[in-house]
Every structure is written in C-alpha cells, then in structure tokens.
Structure 1
Amino acid sequence: MKDERAELRQVLAQITSIDPVVAIEVSAMLNGLSSIEARDAALAATAQTVATQPSKIALIGVHGGLTPRGSWYGSSLSGIAASAMRAADDADVSGIIADFDSPGGTVSGTAEAAAAFAYAASKKPVVAVVNTLAASAAYWIASQASELVISPSGDVGSIGAMIMHQDISGYLDQIGLKMTIIRSEQSPMKNEAHPFAPLSDDAKAFLQGRANSAGADFIRAVAAGRKVSQAKVKDEFGQGRVFGAKEALARGMADRVATLDSVIAGMVAGVPGRATSRRRSAFAFE
C-alpha cells in the first residue's frame, strides 16, 4: 500500500506540472486524500515545478543614435550586445523583448550587436518591437530576432551603408582661408577624405568600396535573420527606403503589428508559473 501511495503521488506531481486544478481532482479520486490534502500536494508540486523553470523576461532598450560606446543621445552597441548575451545565457530568463526606437548608427559595433541578438534567438524567444523606429543599423540588429513586431505607426528599413563627405573649399576661398595638409611620406593616403578640397577619384573609389562592403554585410545579415534570400532583401526591402507598418508587412520586413505593451503582456502570460507564483519579478531590465 505504501508503494502504491508513493507511485500515485508521483503521478500527481506529473499532472500538477500540467494542470494543478486537475491534479486536485485526480488526487482526491485516486489517492484517497481529503480535498485539503490534495490541494496542498498540488500546490507543493506546482511550487517545485515553478522553482526549476525560468521566470524572468529581459527587456533591452535600443534607442537613439547607436555608437560603439553610447552617448547622451543614444544607446551603446557594445552594451546592447552584452545585454543580449547575458540574457541569452541566463537560465532564469525565458524570453527577451527589445524595444527599438532608433534611426541607426555606426557600422562599427553593429555587426557584433546583431550577432549577439542572433545568438540569443538561437536559445530562446527574442521579440524585437519597433516602437516606433528601427532604421539602418537598428533594423540590422532587429532583423536577427525570432520575431519582428512593428507598432501601428512604426517605420523600418533604410538598409544600406552611407559615407558622407563635405567639401568646404569654396567657402574657404570666399573668406580667404587656405588649408595646407602635410603628411608623412610613408602615408600619402592619410586623411584623404578631408573637407578642405574635393575628393580625388582614388579616394572616392576607395570609400565607395567600403560602403559597398558594409552594405553587402547588411543585406547578408538581414537575409539570414529574416530567413529570405539576399536577392529578396536587395530587390524588395526598399534599397535604402523606410516603410510604415502596412508596407513592411507586405514586403516581409516585419511579422505583425502590435504595441510594446501588448507584446510584454503576451510574453508575461506565457512565462511558466506566472499565474501561480510570486516568487520573483517578471522582468530583468538590461
């Protein structure tokens, strides 16, 4: 009889991990326990199950102009990468939500941040929420998420790389100012993109090559993240243009339209044990 009770309690624990309410009924019916004993057994088994399951959601902000170390006007790309890696490797984090509102940023640091998001998405759900802008470098990173959600008034795109050169030589001539640049003989190309004269053909060709290389990396990463061909990204994802929610969905640049609040509520509802345990906070702010 003792062995049978032990076996029944094991069955009870297994059922409890699925549905504590059903477990109470099964316990009272099969195990000969009182309803109070059955309830206590179900709650104990539920607590044990919840204790071994992840119960946090990581929230990562990607805001403003993105630079490798960050600044007063935007997030740090290295910080974004570190947050994504930390959340990915945290056994107590069940999923990650990234809140995007950024026009983009530097090429430097973007590939690393995107790779961190791709790594996180290979381990657990990562939802990128465009709230309300993910352009250029920000879209590069967001495209690596498990799901890309755009707010009703959101915009995404600006795929590609750009280098700007300012020629102020005409203005200097007007005010009678002439700049002389002296370079070390070993480095005749140093600072060849200075603003005090028009770009030489060689300098323009070199910079064009750098832009093309970064643009190709961008397209390759978006294609991998969105699970489409590079040709589709190149031909159908705007060629540098930015699109609103409806157009972005039609082109496959986003998965659905929703607000940040609704995405958070949906993920919280799916965290194991959230309805039966107040063991700890639902969020781990990154």
Structure 2
Amino acid sequence: MSGTTIGALLGTAAVAICAEHLPMLDAVLPGQAPESVEAMQAMVGAGVKVERGERYAVHRGIAYVPVRGVLSPNSEILERWFGWATYHGLIDTMGALAASDEVRGVVLFFDTPGGAVVGVQGAVEAVKACAAVKPVHAFVYPLAASAGYWLASQCTEIIVSPGAWVGSVGTMMNSNQPVQSGSSGYQDYILTSQHAGAKRPDLSTDEGRALALDRLNAMEADFHAAVSEGRGISIDDLKVSLSRSGNTAHGGDVFWGQDAVERGLADGLEDISTFIARVSALYAPPQQRQARAMMARAKAAQAKASL
C-alpha cells in the first residue's frame, strides 16, 4: 500500500514521541477525510463533545480542550480529519481561553504519544501563560508522553486516570543512509538524546551522529528546563526521577499510577467520574455552589435530627 504517511507530514526533523508509538508515524493517511471524528471518551464522560473543526468546547464555565493524536506544528489534515491537536491550534486556543471572561477554568484532556519538536515550545509557553491567569487542569486519559508531557507539565495540576502513562521525556530522530554509494539498499538509524547538524547528517559516521546528538541534547535541555519549572523539580532531581535505574543516561521512561505521583510527574490519581465531579464543583456558578451548600447543610441537619 502506498501513500502519504503521518510521519511524512512531520518531515525529517527531530521528534519527541513515546518509542512504543513510533509505528504510528508509518500509518498511511486515507484518501479522503473520514465521515466523522471519533469523540474522545474522556470528554464524553464530561458531557461535552468537540465537533469537527472545533478545538474546544465550553460547558458551565469550563473549557474542555482535547490534546490527542500525533502532535504536529500546523497539519490541517491531522487536525481537521482526525481531531488531533496542533501546536498552532493550541497557541490560538490557550490565548483565547486566557482572555475569555466566560471561562473560569480549563481542562486539557491528554491522549497523545507526543509528536514533532518543531513548534512545541510555542504551545508550551501558551499553556504556561494561560495557567498564569486561570487554573489549567491536565487529565491524562490514558497517555501524555514526550511532547504531550512537555505540554502537560505547564498545567496547574496533572491528574492521571488509572492505567494512564506519563513521561518519556527526551527527543529522538531517525534517518536512513545508502548502504554504499549508488546502492538501492538503505540502512535505518535511530538516535535518542543523551538522557533518554546539517539538514540530514550522515548517521552512519561518527561525525554525523555527533552532530545529530548535539542537536537532540539541546532540545532535551529545553524540554528538561520546561518540565523542571512547570513541576517545581530541580533539573538534577528530575533527571533521576525520569530513570528507573537512577542512572540519568537511562531516562526518558514512562510511569503510571502512584509511581508517577511519587516521582513528582503528576499530582494525583482519579477516575474520570471523580475528576469531572471535582472540577465541575470548583467552577460551578456561585448560585449553584450556594444551592449545594444549603442542600448539604439541610442533609446534615436532617441526619442530626434523626439521632
């Protein structure tokens, strides 16, 4: 089967993506847009749905934003055909939500293995800027890896659902080179940054690998700095937290459940119904909060009277 792949839309630049999901880049795009975009189940649980062409939905003062799929700088096909997030889209979205008087809180629903490095810093800054003026909650259902976690790290809090994964902090790139001059055979190469050149360095040579690694390590340093600031963890402690062995060269792993919380990569563990109920109560209109408080006091009084 031939056709344009998802990876082709990202080009040959470095990526920040969970290694287990690299095969997604080889998936071939369909010849035309799907008839419908599958709703993100976490958002269905919140009682909202983002329609095709929409980037978020506002429900009772809370803006719900899906951050799903392979993340790209500005791929219209991936965004409009599949409902996948783009960095340019997130920049526009977070700016609009930060300025909106209607929106009292923001929830980013994460279901992404990561994506391109190009453009991610702008989206990271947009999430950070929005979180500086109103609460931004990250709910991981079930994956916020690599570039996805880069974004989540700037939120006011990160909540992971049971079985959800976070982490995979690091960058990587792949390339191929002719086996020999004039040969039709190619050798594939994949490099990762130190802790997890030219337009196309020759990865079959020491010089080419060194050039590519310098680039990856610089990107990784930016990644670490953003997560360190967003999560309030020193860079040295962060590097240790991202490794299961304690050897910082073995970082870039993914973590889940209470382990992710204990490492400082998340703030809590909640199922979808508990999370939605808590966030909805936080940002309910004042009259709803008053009514709930009166009801709670009435129930308490009734219970006391029955003693």
Letter in 2 for 1:235: V
Superposed CA offset, 1:120-176 (max 9, x none): 111111100011000000000001000000001100000011111223526974x68
Count of paired positions: 209
- Choose 119-128 or 260-269, whichever is displaced more: 260-269
Letter in 2 for 1:206: L
Contact conserved, 2:201 with 2:211, CA < 8 A, in 1?
A: no
Corresponding residue to 2:288 among 269, 275, 279: 275
Corresponding residue to 1:208 among 213, 216, 229: 213
Contact conserved, 1:268 with 1:274, CA < 8 A, in 2?
A: no
Superposed CA offset, 1:194-247 (max 9, x none): 6xxx53333222111110000000000000000111111111123100111121
Q: 1:217 maps to what in 2?
A: 222
1:266 partnered with 2:278 = yes
**Please, which runs of 5 or more residues in structure 1 have no aligned partner?**
1-53, 178-188, 278-286
Considering only CA atoms, is the larger Rg found in Structure 1 or Structure 2? 1
| TM-score normalised by L of structure 1 | 0.67
Letter in 2 for 1:193: P
Contact conserved, 2:71 with 2:112, CA < 8 A, in 1?
A: yes
Q: 1:69 to 1:275 in 2, by over 3 A?
A: same
| TM-score normalised by L of structure 2 | 0.62
Q: RCO greater where, 1 or 2, for CA within 8 Å and sep 6 or more?
A: 1
Q: CA deviation at 1:253?
A: 0.6
SS at 2:93's partner residue?
A: helix
**Please, which runs of 5 or more residues in structure 2 have no aligned partner?**
1-58, 187-196, 244-250, 291-307
Q: 1:253 maps to what in 2?
A: 265
Alignment of 1:89-238 (within 5 A): 89-169=99-179, 173=183, 191-193=199-201, 199-238=204-243
Alignment of 1:1-80 (within 5 A): 56-70=61-75, 71=78, 72=81, 74-80=84-90
Letter in 2 for 1:103: P
RMSD, aligned α-carbons: 2.5
Q: CA deviation at 1:82?
A: 1.4
Superposed CA offset, 1:75-120 (max 9, x none): 2111112111211111221100000000000111111111111111
Letter in 2 for 1:75: A
1: CA distance between counterparts of 2:287 and 2:137? 19
Q: CA deviation at 1:192?
A: 3.7
1: CA distance between counterparts of 2:253 and 2:185? 40
Q: 1:276 to 1:222 in 2, by over 3 A?
A: closer
